[in-house]
Amino acid sequence: MSESEVALGHAAVMEEPAYALPPKKLTVWLFIISDSLTFGSILFAYGYLRVGSTNWSTPFQFPSILNGMIMTFVLLTSSLTMLGGVLAAKAGRKSVTVRWMGLTALLGLLFAALHLREWSHMIGEGWRLFQNPTGGSVQFGAAFFSITGLHLLHVVSGVIAILVVAIGFNRGRLTEGHVETTGLYWHFVDVVWMFVFPLVYLMNAAR
Amino acid sequence: MAPNREPGLRFYVWVWIGLLIIAGVEVLLTYQGFSTGALLAILLILAVCEAGIALMYFMHLKYERSTLFWSLIPVTIFALFLMNHFWADALRLIKVRVVPF
Amino acid sequence: MTGKLFGLLVAIITIVSTAFFVMHTWWLPQDISTHGHGVDHQLNETMIGTGILFVAGQLVLASFVWLYGDKKDGRKIKSFPGGAAVMVTFAIILVGIEILVLTFVGSRVWASAYIAPPPADAMQIDVAAEQFAFYFRYPGPDGKFGVIHPEMANDANGNYFGLNPANDEAARDDVVVGELAIPVNRPILLTMHSKDMIHSFFVPELRLQQDIVPGLTVPIHFTAVKTGKYEIVCTQLCGLGHYSMRAYLEVKTQDEFDQWLKTQSGD
Amino acid sequence: MHEASAQPVVHRHAPPQGFIRKYVFSLDHKVIGLQYYGLALAAVFIGMVLSWLMRIHLGWPALPFPGLNKLSPNGAPGGLMTPEYYLSLMTMHGTIMVFFVLTNAPQAGFGNYFLPIQIGAEDMAFPRFNMMSFWVTFLAFVVLIAAFFVTDGPPISGWTAYAPLSAVGRDAGPGQALGQTLWGISIALFCIGQLLGSLNFISTTLDLRTRGMSLARMPYSTWAWFVTSVIGLLAFAVLLPACILLILDRVAGTSFFIPAGLVVSDKLQPHAGGSPLLWQHLFWFFGHPEVYIAILPSIGIVSHILPSFLRKNILGGARTVVGSLIAFGFLSYMVWGHHMFLSGMNPFSAILFSVPTLIITIPATIVVLLWLGSIYGAKIRFDSPALFCLGFISLFISGGISGFFLAQPSIDIQLHATYFVVAHFHLVMAVAAIFGIFAGTYFWAPKMFGRMMNETLAKWHFWLTFIGVYCIFMPMHYIGLAGNVRRYALFNDDYMIPMNPVHKFMTIAALATGAVQLIFLYNLFHTRFWGKKAPDNPWESTTLEWSTPSSPPPFDNFGGKYPVVYRSPYEFVEGGAADYVIQTSPVEVGTH
């Protein structure tokens, strides 16, 4: 996909892009806006159902919260490594970029693994989308699995994107622009987690 | 106005530490026995700060033209804010749910 | 030519359409509720205000199109005196005032019917809606409603509400009927709940419409001031028999009503 | 460095070879635009036939449809339509028309074709996204139509798919089994297609404008497409998760929209804790912006076409028109609750939603007044596009005015869910938007096909359609006031029976008006292949689409060059050889 370079190459004959952003970067920003509404509406739905239920269960013991903390740490760190990748790419240091991005992808996978461990652990306890072993509102499982599932989907697709872009950048097919936009998306996945962790984990901690 | 110069990795490390601290504080506060409502308010405020920092520095919003910020963020907040209309009904679910007579 | 034809057509359409509104060829049915006149008044006010805007707008369009066709004469193009500023201010002031008035008056009407709490002496009647019928329950002599057990509801043996008379005192004398009979001039409080889908309780003569949402007990109160038999229809798409879902509202005098209730609880 | 009136261009991608790349999986925004237009044409035809069947059934319930039993043995045994099949047709009619016609044709269709040309780009920012968005939409359409052929037939829960009717599955009635699931999948896919489209439109508009084409110099239609894309970007992002949650309720046993203790056809449903109102909130949060997604492009198209036939710019120019468009977009998000006044929503919210709903009438009034003010003192050329624009204005007034009633909860008590509502949204959103599409078609056909539409047929098409739609939809107001409930397969309630003659009248009008559309269809196809060749700028218009070297434009729109824009979009000046100045003309013209 080579649209954005060409569009930039046209700078001589085009009006200057609004916000001085190339189309790709602008589009990722727009996607982020729209996606944050997607997450927003699901989180609001979760809040709606929780407020409307009398028997909400808050099952997370400290181990789960600790697991959540580790996941938060991993994801935040992956954002940092991604930034390393972006800076290196801008400095034109290919191999360094690829190393940083590889590290980011690894951290992303680690996050997913921790998440899935959490899931399997809960499923083992008898949690389902439609089932609550503690006898509380069944909406807990529905909300938890759908929200974290949606986020996990973003993480996994992010990891794939990072790998693809890293390889493409290494081969010289893709530019630092691609690295940067991928980073933008990856940071957004991080930002979403900054809301999911408190709202879905901490608010459901057994206190 | 041209985009400002953006800082190097060392600066981002500091931001990263800051975010970690906020996340830690969130967990600490969770166990201070606040009421659910109060805790929600606190956590949301912290989460917004966290997200704001990430947006501004990690996602470079601070180093883009300010017009980008002003055209993206208010719209999003506005749209999400409107969803607060939901609560009027969510709370009613408790008040007027089916009660056996 | 074309322009004149268009102008004529629009004018005719406007006049004919308006005529039917003015002549009340089809109009709201009579109003039998205490709050209804407020609704009607609000509707008439709006009808007059918007009617004027409608006729004016269409006729201005018609006449302009009639007048300003290109006749290939040397006529110079004129621009609207005052320009857009006039239009914008006009729109904001005119419509703004209309909005303020409508909101101010209308909200009071709305509040009187839907926000105001039911009078203390309101007679409570329990309503259950299901595909595709309404059922009404009167507390019976003891004045208490029996507890509802959804799982026990069964149309086959006529236990529409899922009562458990066997071991529920209050439920035994509950009167369950398929038509809503109420005494005239007496505040009525309907507590409505649905067994399956969203249904809606609509009596045009009462100026009263309310969705019945499963999971909620939706309260609605009114006072009927005219005796007679009226139709209750479901206005919320609730499944294949939606069109056939209705019941009757009988507004009776107090004596007739007491008599009726006695006979109902008798059998 | 503004001397060169045009500069050479590096081609983004070479012109495709072979039929598939050229016409099927094409990256060319012009082909994709026509694909969207074609899809909408097919959809509107199906939707129209459905409305015929429904109208005939309402007029003459006992009348059998020979052959309908072939399509649905259960739905129409012996060709006699069952009530539930009526609801199925109604659901499909609404869904097809709102999503695949009113959202596709004016926005995705014309927008794809003309937005890049009007801003002087040689294609969309992301041609591959563009292709994907069409084919995803196409897939969505196929999935939706498939619902006709599943055992239980299409869903019966209306285009709003209110839970729990849409959520509990088979027990809720025929069509609520697989049919409803297909509906959910189809709409979810449609959301994805629209989101891709919106991203593409916005970044194209912001980043690919040719030199001199400042935002202030963009045509009104471009502005409308841009604002609509912004609305869509936020609206469809909410419908998508809503659909996913609905599908989860149906297939994964969750209870987002289903409360406890539901007994459907004597079966206690295994759900608890959900809320039907949550679906309504999520749906209408999208649903109301959606109606503006449907109408804004038409408003833009009309404002774009009118100047060429009034020979003057719209009163107030860009600032006022664009201002109103943006006001529409902004307000459209604050009003969704006016669909829910009587839904069991908190009665206090009703007032909060009613006020902004009424405020929307201000920008609406402003645009109408601007159009009227522009017609004043003009030299109107009555070609078919102009006629459809003027018709649009008349319909927009008629349909918009009834919004005053429905915006007020106190009046909505009486009018909610009656034919008054049907009349309102059909006039202001459906028919008006369709008139915008017709106007666009007649106006741009010379550019899209390089051939002129037959003017005589076009005029007949206008007169008959214009009279027809008023005959169909005006009476609906009357019977609505009299309390005639919508979404009934049959009106056998005591107080509705007297209105049956009116329904018969509307049915006849609908059939006639529908038949008239065949004139348009014939005209369109005849023009496409055998119409008479069109001059480069048949309407003596001023915007960039009329500056392309050929009609239809070459693959890169401007023949290896970028136009340079020197002036605002609608400059008409009397005196001199031509009374109009095209945007690319560097020549200084006298003051005006």
Residues C175 and C252 in one domain: yes
Residue C262: count of CB within 10 angstroms of its CB: 11
D349·B75 Cβ contact <8 A? no
Say how far apart CA C28 and CA C36 lie, in whole Å. Answer: 11
pLDDT of residue B4: 53
pLDDT level of residue D442 (50, 70, 90 thresholds):
very high
Instruction: Please tell me whether residues C109 and C234 are part of one structural domain.
Output: no
pLDDT mean over D373-395: 96
| Best A10, A49, A51, A123 residue to mutate vs chain D (most D CBs within 10 Å) | A10
| Long-range pairs for D574-581: beta carbons < 8 A, 24 or more residues apart | D574/C76, D574/C77, D578/D540, D579/D311, D579/D540, D580/D308, D580/D311, D580/D540, D580/D541, D580/D542, D581/D542
Continuous segment of H or E residues that includes residue C175:
strand C175-177
Cβ-count burial of D7 within 10 angstroms (0-12 exposed, 13-18 middle, 19+ buried)? Answer: middle
Residue A55 has pLDDT above 50, yes or no: yes
Q: Where are the alpha helices (DSSP H) in D402-532?
A: 403-406, 409-415, 419-425, 432-449, 455-481, 500-530
C242 close to D (CB below 8 A): yes
CA terminus-to-terminus distance, chain B: 68
Interface test with B, best of A16, A182, A202, A203 (most B CBs within 10 A): A202
Q: Which chains touch B (3 or more CB pairs under 8 A)?
A: A, C, D
D591 touches C: beta carbon within 8 Å: no
Tell me which residue has tokens 């297939």: D251
What subunits make at least 3 CB pairs under 8 angstroms with A?
B, D
Q: Given CB atoms, is D316 within the 8 Å cutoff of chain C?
A: yes
Q: Give the residue with greater pLDDT, B98 vs D127.
A: D127
Tell me if residue D8 falls in helix, strand or coil.
strand
C128 and C238 within one domain: yes
Q: Give residues with Cβ within 8 angstroms of A181, minimum separation 6.
A: A24, A25, A28
The predicted model scores a pTM of 0.95
Q: B100 and chain C: CB distance < 8 Å anywhere?
A: yes
Amino acid at D140: A
What would be the CATH architecture of the domain defined by D31-259+271-581? Up-down Bundle (1.20)
Contacts of D278 in chain B (CB under 8 A): 86, 89
Each residue of C228-240: pLDDT tens digit?
999 999 999 999 9
Residue D568 contacts B, CB cutoff 8 Å:
no
pLDDT tens-digit readout, A80-94? 999 999 999 999 999
Could you tell me the residue ranges of all domains in chain D? 31-259+271-581
Residue C31: which domain range? Answer: 2-71+78-115
* pLDDT for C167: 83
D455 touches chain C (CB under 8 A): no
Of D285, D333, D349, the CB nearest to B88: D349
Sorting pLDDT into bands at 50, 70 and 90, what band is D80? Answer: very high
Amino acid at C159: N
Q: Which chains would you list as touching D if contact means 3+ CB atom pairs under 8 Å? A: A, B, C
Closest CA to A151 of A186, A181, A102: A186
Q: Which of C147, C215, C219 sits opposite B100 (nearest CB)?
A: C147
Q: Is C126 on the interface with B (CB under 8 A)?
A: yes
Candidates D234, D259, D281; nearest CB to B86: D281
Q: What is the CATH number of the domain that holds C250?
A: 2.60.40.420
D317 touches chain C (CB under 8 A): yes
* pLDDT tops 50 at residue D513: yes
C147 vs B: CB within 8 A: yes
Judged by CB atoms closer than 8 Å, whether chains meet at B97 and C126 is answered as: no
Q: Whole-angstrom Cα distance, residue D490 to residue C197?
A: 20
On whether both C180 and C256 belong to a single domain, the answer is: yes
Select the residue from D199, D281, D338, D355 to test the B interface by mutation, using most B Cβ atoms within 10 A: D281
Q: Do A199 and B12 touch (CB under 8 A)?
A: no
Cβ–Cβ below 8 Å for A36 and B80:
yes
Domains of chain A, start order: 22-204 (1.20.120.80)
The C-alpha of C114 sits at a distance from chain D's nearest C-alpha, in angstroms, of 6
Cβ distance of C217 and B97 shorter than 8 Å:
yes
Give residue-wise pLDDT tens across range D462-493.
999 999 999 999 999 999 999 999 999 999 89
Chain B residue with minimum CA distance to D273: B93
Asked if B15 and A86 count as a contact pair (C-beta separation under 8 A), the reply is no
pLDDT per residue as tens digits for the range A162-185: 999 999 999 999 999 999 999 999
Q: Which residues of A touch D245 (CB under 8 A)?
A: 42, 45, 146
Q: How far is B14 from chain A (nearest CA, A)?
A: 10
Per cent of chain D over pLDDT 70 is 97
**C-alpha separations of B77 from A34, A196, B72, D65, D234 in Å:** 12, 17, 9, 53, 12
- Tell whether the model's pLDDT for residue A161 goes beyond 90: yes
Band of the pLDDT at C158, cuts 50, 70, 90? confident
> Where is average pLDDT lowest: A143-147, D453-457, D584-588?
D584-588
Q: Which chain A residues have a beta carbon less than 8 Å from that of D564?
A: 13
Mean pLDDT of chain D: 92
C89 and C161 inside one domain: no
Q: Are residues C131 and C262 in the same domain?
A: yes
A chain contacts of residue D202, beta-carbon cutoff 8 Å: 26-27, 30
Q: How many CB pairs under 8 A join B and C?
A: 27
Do β-strands D263-264 and D267-268 pair in parallel, antiparallel, or remain unpaired?
antiparallel
Q: C144 and C56 in one domain?
A: no
CB-CB under 8 Å, B51 with A54: no
pLDDT confidence of residue C244: 94
User: Please, what is the end-to-end C-alpha distance for chain D in angstroms?
Assistant: 27
Determine the pLDDT at residue D9: 47
pLDDT > 90: percent of chain C: 71
Looking at the fold, whether C129 and C109 belong to one and the same domain comes out as no
**Distance of alpha carbon C127 from alpha carbon C125, whole angstroms:** 6
In this complex, the residue of A33, A47, A190 whose CB is nearest that of residue B72 is: A33
Residue at C169: amino acid letter: E
**Same domain as C179, residue C111:** no
Residue C9 has pLDDT above 90, yes or no: yes
Dihedral-angle region of residue C28 (phi above 0 means left; psi in -120 to 50 means alpha; beta otherwise): beta
Nearest in space to A31 (alpha carbons), one of A198, A157, A199: A157
Contacts of B89 in chain A (CB under 8 A): 48
Q: Would you call D349 and B89 a contact, using CB atoms and an 8 Å cutoff?
A: yes
φ, ψ of residue D506 in degrees (nearest 5): -65, -35
Is the per-residue pLDDT at D589 higher than 60?
no
Is B93 within 8 Å of C144 when comparing Cβ atoms?
A: no
| pLDDT value, residue B3 | 47
In this predicted structure, what is the pLDDT of residue C213?
A: 94
Q: What is the pLDDT, as a whole number, of residue A5?
A: 38
Residue C216 and residue B98: Cβ atoms within 8 Å? yes
C207 interfaces chain D, CB cutoff of 8 Å: yes
- Residues of B in Cβ contact (< 8 Å) with C149: 100
C68-88 per-position pLDDT tens digit: 998 877 788 888 988 899 999
Residue C239, min C-alpha distance to chain B (Å): 22
Per-residue model confidence (pLDDT) at position A10: 54
Q: Are strands C175-177 and C133-138 parallel, antiparallel or unpaired?
A: antiparallel
Share of chain D above pLDDT 90, in %: 84
Out of A71-75, C260-264, D323-327, which region has the weakest mean confidence (pLDDT)?
C260-264
Domain range summary for chain B, segments of one domain joined by +:
9-95
- Residue numbers in A near B12 (CB within 8 A): 80, 83
| Cis preceding-peptide flag for C139 (omega within 30 of 0) | no
